[in-house]
Structure 1
């Protein structure tokens, strides 16, 4: 008989997870699932009672929070700090705009868009919250309400969470986790129980938000198969669909972001566009184009009033719970999940690019989708088909297919719609599993998506919770549970805005220090002054020089290191706490040299000269034995590369450049003097990442 494996091996899987967050979330989900399955009536009653209390007492709070988020993200995007990158200053986007937009759209909006794009316009037209139904004004307002619920407000929530996570993770090397966004407020305490509580709250909101979307999706897909093949509607078929979708999501999430999730997202968007164009071409084309234009105008003109319209004087509570409050809570619940996923795929984009992209690109598609399908559905009802209207309002899972049934090639379009819906379902499930694995993993590299077994676990757990909540009371109970779970997350949004504001205020001060500095030595900034100190022959020789490994290493040893050592010694003699470090870069053997002036409790000054390799351009005049790669010596600070090369500077020119950068840093601290000790975002800044690897990745792109 073989001996049992040692305890350390048996427990090795624990090294992959944060036990508190993983077990805390898993236990809660299992408990809710068992409660909903065993005592269905009690679960439905309790959840309904809590939702009633939230709606009556805190409806105004939801409106206020989401409006504040819209204002905040727009503010940070239009000001100077919008130029700050989600990553070092030299970083570049990892994905193309189409791929990026496809992934953020497929993750941020699921099959529920197909569900509500037909059913909500019809419901708002026939039973509006205020005024008479079935009128022209009700039709205009119906599309505005639908666009409002799926529009800018929700994507602003995603943008806030995504920029917070991306900024602190990629610019300050904190874990890609919700807790990192609270670092400016709570400091190192986020690494303890406080951070665990924050991540558990984010996990619970995420899993219930995704379960709601998947529950809606599986009910609609169930009817899709009923429409095409005559399958029965009910839990048995829904169980089979959940199992199949979870299996597909598991395969996709195990393959990772760059393969499965990326390809499915792109295919998803392409099929959705094809379906939309089919309805546009085969339907009342002129009316649909007129509707798109008018919907844009109506939405733009009415959005400011709607965003704070709590209907205080004639409040339709049931309508508010079923629509606006549900959607706001749903968006809030999805915000950690989608925000982390967006941050995961958005390294290298500026805050302005990120916010504008997240708020405009998906919404432009949503506006077209809802206008085409919503107006197409309204045209059918206003044309006299009352039965279709009743179906769309009372059996919303049938609305989309019932509409396609009014168009030619219904069996083909229904099959495409079912497959598109299945992709929507899978891309939401696999993205959610990946993010939840990230939430419950121990801190690690930002591009590490959690252990494969962990991703599989959360894909399955989400499917189980979806099934449990469907067994309680269907979609209504899922909606109610989302409203409840979104409440603690909405409080978290306030702290995230405060943390981001505090950090970005320092970024703004740092940017102002570049323009507020006194004129620097030698008449220029960032290496330009040193260039002006050269003769034209020296400048030309430098421009045509492409130094190899040996030449670059010799220059670092004979010029860079002695120059920075002299500065460090002079600073030390004047009482500064200066430190000089030099070490060879493993990939090329060339030393990197870093001068640090410790200025606690303020932010330290860092001047690092780091070798970066590039392929030699084809136009260079060089001998055949010259290496294919050449090296630059680029200046880095905590924020990344300053974008210029100091190779070839004389010792005096290099010292002048160090003093230029030091003067800027002191100006930054001077401008920040009203908040002493607050120039530090991360108390113990981590060692620099492999800058050369960053540049190599950029070159590959």
Structure 2
């Protein structure tokens, strides 16, 4: 072997002389790639993220995120309360500017989000699980589907289910009003606004947070989902900024839902209990939600809140069943089928609709499509946390397909039944109802309920269902906000109780301020404005998640390139003679035999390889640790067997470690030890994890050959990661 090296810099790994390992497989010189030291480039790096970035095992308050976000929200609330007219006028000007100049950006963002989540589901990455490969779902399919619906639907769906179709029929965004085309599109526009787009945002953030939390043991947070993109910087000012943006967007999204909810419920409570409608009752409902949240937090009745969140699903089912049976059944079913078909046929063109050729279309876009896109982006981190929590063990494909189909179909049923019931009245010439539905959506909704048989029963059932949606959103929102303003290493835990109460109170203050400044329309303005920075987070999450999936695929491709002989766990199997293979099948080594083999074969082989690396100018380290038994993956910083480590200028060194693994002995055939139930395997672990194969019985040269194969895979993988990072 050529022993020449760079004498001026013996540790220079980029010298032109190739090592024997590089000469064995590559035709040219292979230089050690330079990879950004801050970002992970391997599965091993992803696995170390929790240890590197979140060493604290207890929940810590993120004071910078808490103070900055609460200051922004409090300042906005006080400004709106002190100067409501000025605040409303300023926000209207801002929204008009966004709708005129950035409408295309919102539309394009949503289209790309849908494309990305569908691509993940249909690609090979769809087989990856939200957790280890051997993890399985906690909930059955039916229960999980019901929880998906309960997690992502708010009382706003009821509010817009009547006014939306009526508005689109009488004042469509394009074409003639009250025409056949307007009638055909009226319900479909509302279905479009409550359809795949919003749930695609939920799916994106939910699967990204769940993937990094349950597969790589990172916290269940937005900043953790950006670890592959920014590395250790997600723990510093950059990560704080991202968390602050996500938190502010979430607060405005939840406050908007609460505001719409109290506007609707205040009519129901007035009809049922004789209360006076107005701002006083609306504020009382907001305060009631805060009291219930505090009670749930301080008295440990969170299980009751979870039970409520499930009950709201069944109350909604009962309400829909009553409307279908007591209403115009055939018309509603025909309308539902046609609406869904029209939605599917027109989705691609509707998705990119900006109405660029329709004069003065920005007002409609700002009030409808852009508002809803901003609404879903603001709610994305909030709902994403819940979807991730209930979906551990699911594959990415299962997660995406279920998220954009099952709850979307439930939304479609609600929108179609309410919307078509409202349109039926309009088509019968009930112009007073049509005007009411446009001018006062909350009164229009209850007016429609009053037209069914047993109106008092239906109004009570609908109010109860809306109240459950409202309470669930308020309580769950406070919990998620507390999580976003704290560092929580365990994804199953939540933020401190006092922090949850703090956010419940601050969200209530924001809701009341927007009610004082003009009600629902002001909430729409604020949501559209403050959700704009959240779009940046959506792009960052897509880039980061894509990089993580590329890391997993690059490793798999690297293994296939270096040897087609792969174990079920993905490890490479060294070539052996038929006698060696038979010997391994029939012999079960004792601990003493394993130790002797390590001393006689493994360590000398690793010593030879280390000496050759050093001779070629590399920094090669050999460690001979104790022969501790291990069952789980080796921690390379605390080796439990002979270790070879080669330092490079990559973010992660190459290492090759052999450890003794106590393994249950088979109960059939073979040479069994009469005094033990286990035998000992000599398994290999590299920077990409355990190979899962046994070196017992191999010769020294075969062990050296295996090291070469693993080093070749390391070079292939790091080179691929370097190209992806660039």
Return the TM-score normalized by structure 1: 0.81
Larger displacement relative to structure 2 (315-324 or 599-608): 599-608
Partner of 2:118 in structure 1?
Answer: 74
Q: State the 1:437 CA deviation.
A: 1.0
| Aligned length, in residue pairs | 645
Matched, 1:44 2:88: yes
Q: State the 1:249 CA deviation.
A: 3.2
Q: State the 1:95 CA deviation.
A: 3.5
Matched, 1:288 2:337: no
Contact between 1:596 and 1:604, CA under 8 Å: does it hold in 2?
Answer: no
Contact between 2:80 and 2:517, CA under 8 Å: does it hold in 1?
Answer: yes
Partner of 2:154 in structure 1?
Answer: 110
Correspondent of 2:171 among 110, 118, 127: 127
Contact between 1:437 and 1:449, CA under 8 Å: does it hold in 2?
Answer: yes
Larger displacement relative to structure 2 (530-539 or 157-166): 530-539
Contact between 1:560 and 1:651, CA under 8 Å: does it hold in 2?
Answer: no
Correspondent of 1:199 among 224, 228, 243: 243
Indicate how the Cα distance of structure 1 residues 612 and 28 shifts in structure 2: closer, same or farther if over 3 A, else same: farther
Partner of 2:209 in structure 1?
Answer: 165
Matched, 1:211 2:260: no
CA–CA distance in structure 2, aligned partners of residues 185 and 24 of structure 1? 24
CA–CA distance in structure 1, aligned partners of residues 474 and 660 of structure 2? 42
Q: State the 1:540 CA deviation.
A: 9.8
Matched, 1:572 2:634: no
SS at 1:216 equivalent: helix
Partner of 2:453 in structure 1?
Answer: 408
Larger displacement relative to structure 2 (469-478 or 223-232): 223-232
Correspondent of 2:534 among 474, 477, 489: 489
CA–CA distance in structure 2, aligned partners of residues 411 and 581 of structure 1? 78
Correspondent of 1:97 among 141, 148, 153: 141
Partner of 1:339 in structure 2?
Answer: 384
Partner of 1:364 in structure 2?
Answer: 409
SS at 2:531 equivalent: helix
CA–CA distance in structure 2, aligned partners of residues 631 and 346 of structure 1? 37
* 1:653-684 residue CA offsets vs partner (Å, 9 max, x unmatched): 9998998799478437515625428689xxxx
CA–CA distance in structure 2, aligned partners of residues 307 and 246 of structure 1? 38
Partner of 1:6 in structure 2?
Answer: none
Matched, 1:153 2:191: no
Indicate how the Cα distance of structure 1 residues 452 and 378 shifts in structure 2: closer, same or farther if over 3 A, else same: same
SS at 1:676 equivalent: helix
Mark the runs of 5 or more structure 2 residues left unpaired by the alignment: 1-57, 614-619, 633-637, 668-674
Structure 2 matches for 1:295-310, cutoff 5 A? 295-310=339-354
Matched, 1:676 2:714: no
Contact between 1:608 and 1:637, CA under 8 Å: does it hold in 2?
Answer: no
Q: State the 1:246 CA deviation.
A: 2.2
Q: State the 1:385 CA deviation.
A: 2.6
Indicate how the Cα distance of structure 1 residues 383 and 27 shifts in structure 2: closer, same or farther if over 3 A, else same: same
Larger displacement relative to structure 2 (264-273 or 323-332): 264-273
* 1:86-116 residue CA offsets vs partner (Å, 9 max, x unmatched): 2322333333334433443333221111111
Structure 2 matches for 1:612-627, cutoff 5 A? none
CA–CA distance in structure 2, aligned partners of residues 17 and 523 of structure 1? 43
Contact between 2:629 and 2:660, CA under 8 Å: does it hold in 1?
Answer: no
Matched, 1:313 2:313: no
Correspondent of 1:64 among 108, 126, 140: 108
Larger displacement relative to structure 2 (597-606 or 451-460): 597-606
Larger displacement relative to structure 2 (190-199 or 490-499): 490-499
Indicate how the Cα distance of structure 1 residues 232 and 522 shifts in structure 2: closer, same or farther if over 3 A, else same: closer
Indicate how the Cα distance of structure 1 residues 650 and 370 shifts in structure 2: closer, same or farther if over 3 A, else same: same
CA–CA distance in structure 2, aligned partners of residues 635 and 413 of structure 1? 67
Partner of 2:650 in structure 1?
Answer: 601
Correspondent of 1:470 among 515, 537, 551: 515
Q: State the 1:358 CA deviation.
A: 1.8
Partner of 1:547 in structure 2?
Answer: none
Indicate how the Cα distance of structure 1 residues 280 and 15 shifts in structure 2: closer, same or farther if over 3 A, else same: closer
Matched, 1:431 2:476: yes
CA–CA distance in structure 1, aligned partners of residues 386 and 310 of structure 2? 16
CA–CA distance in structure 2, aligned partners of residues 520 and 372 of structure 1? 58
Indicate how the Cα distance of structure 1 residues 626 and 420 shifts in structure 2: closer, same or farther if over 3 A, else same: farther
* 1:352-400 residue CA offsets vs partner (Å, 9 max, x unmatched): 2222222222112112222222222222322333322222222111233
Matched, 1:247 2:262: no
Larger displacement relative to structure 2 (225-234 or 246-255): 246-255
Return the TM-score normalized by structure 2: 0.78
Structure 2 matches for 1:549-560, cutoff 5 A? none
Matched, 1:259 2:308: no
CA–CA distance in structure 1, aligned partners of residues 144 and 644 of structure 2? 37
Q: State the 1:214 CA deviation.
A: 0.8
CA–CA distance in structure 1, aligned partners of residues 347 and 289 of structure 2? 37
Matched, 1:498 2:543: yes
Partner of 2:78 in structure 1?
Answer: 34
Contact between 1:513 and 1:665, CA under 8 Å: does it hold in 2?
Answer: no
SS at 1:128 equivalent: coil
CA–CA distance in structure 2, aligned partners of residues 165 and 48 of structure 1? 34
Mark the runs of 5 or more structure 1 residues left unpaired by the alignment: 1-13, 543-550, 618-624, 681-701
Contact between 2:375 and 2:531, CA under 8 Å: does it hold in 1?
Answer: yes
Correspondent of 2:266 among 222, 225, 236: 222
Indicate how the Cα distance of structure 1 residues 249 and 232 shifts in structure 2: closer, same or farther if over 3 A, else same: same
Superposition RMSD in Å = 4.1
CA–CA distance in structure 1, aligned partners of residues 135 and 301 of structure 2? 19
CA–CA distance in structure 2, aligned partners of residues 390 and 262 of structure 1? 39
SS at 1:86 equivalent: coil
Larger displacement relative to structure 2 (239-248 or 144-153): 239-248
Q: State the 1:539 CA deviation.
A: 6.2
